[in-house]
Amino acid sequence: MTELHIDRVESPLGTVTIAVHGDTLVALDFVDEDAMRERLRQRFEGARFVETRDPAGCATRLQAYFDGRLDALDDIPVDPGGTPFQRRVWKALREVPCGQTRSYRDVAEAVGSPGAVRAVGQANGRNPIGIAIPCHRIVNADQRLGGYAGGLDNKRWLLQHEGARPQSSRSRTL
């Protein structure tokens, strides 16, 4: 039976729930904890959830990020699971520096699949460890925000928190 340690961090985005296996972050969600737990049950057969304060220091590091230490999550161990392609995409996302954005096309090229822009978008949308795997840093080619599973207001907040300033998703480039 796999033991997953669960904790919650209050943030400007609301309650963020994390799941840790051993010393590795395996999930982070600020939208739907029940859905996160269901995904973890599918990934870790027989998963047992244990409420644990600050497992592996992950909650402290997440709070530090929200408090302005923007590099606090850069080297946190993560294991998102996923397909080989998704893992390549998620690895590339972690290489996007804080305060910067990249397009879906940039990521597709970075993972050696320049024609897989839509697949990159799908992998981005299935990222189980938001913020630590910074899918919020990926924007449309014209720098508009595009979609975000955590909601565009949260994506905008995260980018502004990190000092990135892409255009509003509502603005049009003529």
Q: Any idea which residue has 């859905």 for tokens?
A: 35
User: Considering 116, 135, 139, 145, which one is annotated as catalytic?
Assistant: 135
Active-site residue, 135 included: yes
- What letters, b where the CB count within 10 A reaches 16 and e where it falls short, cover 64-97? ebbeeebebbeebebbbbbeeebebbbebbbebe
Are the C-beta atoms of residues 4 and 48 closer than 8 Å to each other?
yes
CB proximity list for 170: less than 8 A, separation 6 or greater: none
Give the catalytic positions in this structure.
Answer: 135
